[in-house]
């Protein structure tokens, strides 16, 4: 079965390493804050000016003035810092973010990402995504493997306007974990109960499958 949004976030959280500075984009990436593995410390950055973002608040913790880039209420971890967006983007553009997790409409086999615009649809603009994909040392994309119409989102070449070029290193979809390298998608893991054949059928770009592909593992 395909992963839920929460399970995708749980799998992405396994990529976090002790001491990382991590930017979480709007949507599924923000859920990663709830699943940081025990025993490690990471500083989660929100581009609107919060370094040290904690999990989503309980009802009695809600503070309407404490929000993330998606305008959702959040908590602040011990040692958090609050600053203006200019300083936040100086941190991003200066290469001080170890990992960025963001959603996408499409990713292609060269690691290009299209995440900000669908032609003829009303948009607010690219936002900070272009800075994040250019400035972070590592990029992980979360998205559904295919659209609601069954069309693959992992393509030979992106059809939508690009956010960044040759920047995506890894993709976690509702069906699989894939690495982008050497002009291809390499299948690393599959969602529990999902067959390799299904992933092949729903991947339009060049897909490399080597040996037995393990199922994703989740902590209890």
Which of 105, 119, 100, 91 shows the shortest CA–CA distance to 25? 100
Contact call for residues 142 and 28 (beta carbons, < 8 A): yes
Which sign does the torsion angle of CA 95, 101, 104, 110 carry? positive
Q: Annotated catalytic residue: which of 6, 15, 41, 47? A: 47
Decide the pairing of beta strands 139-143 and 170-173: parallel
Decide the pairing of beta strands 106-108 and 113-114: antiparallel
What's the CA gap between 187 and 87, in Å, rounded? Answer: 38
Residue 179 a catalytic site member = no
What's the CA gap between 132 and 129, in Å, rounded? Answer: 5
Where helices occur in 69-195 by DSSP H, the ranges are: 85-93, 129-135
Which of 212, 214, 141, 133 shows the shortest CA–CA distance to 174? 141
* Alpha-carbon separation of residue 183 from 112, 157, 164 (angstroms): 10, 10, 16
What's the CA gap between 204 and 158, in Å, rounded? Answer: 11
- Residues classed as catalytic: 47
């Amino acid at each position: 079965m395909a992963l839920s949004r929460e399970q995708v976030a749980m799998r992405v959280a396994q990529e976090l390493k002790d001491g990382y500075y991590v930017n979480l984009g709007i949507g599924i990436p923000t859920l990663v804050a709830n699943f940081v593995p025990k025993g490690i410390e990471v500083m989660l950055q929100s581009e609107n000016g919060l370094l040290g973002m904690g999990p989503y608040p309980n009802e009695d913790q809600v503070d309407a003035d404490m929000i993330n880039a998606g305008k959702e209420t959040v908590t602040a971890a011990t040692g958090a810092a609050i600053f203006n967006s200019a300083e936040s983007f100086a941190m991003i553009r200066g290469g001080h973010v170890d990992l960025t997790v963001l959603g996408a409409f499409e990713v292609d086999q060269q690691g290009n990402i299209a995440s900000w615009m669908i032609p003829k649809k009303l948009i607010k603009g690219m936002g900070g995504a272009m800075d994040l994909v250019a400035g972070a040392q590592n990029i992980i994309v979360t998205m559904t493997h295919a659209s609601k119409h069954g069309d693959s989102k992992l393509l030979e070449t992106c059809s939508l306007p690009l956010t960044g070029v040759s920047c995506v290193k890894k993709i976690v979809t509702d069906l699989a974990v894939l690495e982008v390298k050497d002009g291809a998608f390499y299948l690393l893991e599959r969602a529990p109960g999902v067959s390799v054949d299904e992933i092949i059928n729903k991947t339009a770009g060049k897909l490399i499958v080597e040996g037995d592909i393990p199922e994703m593992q989740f902590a209890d």
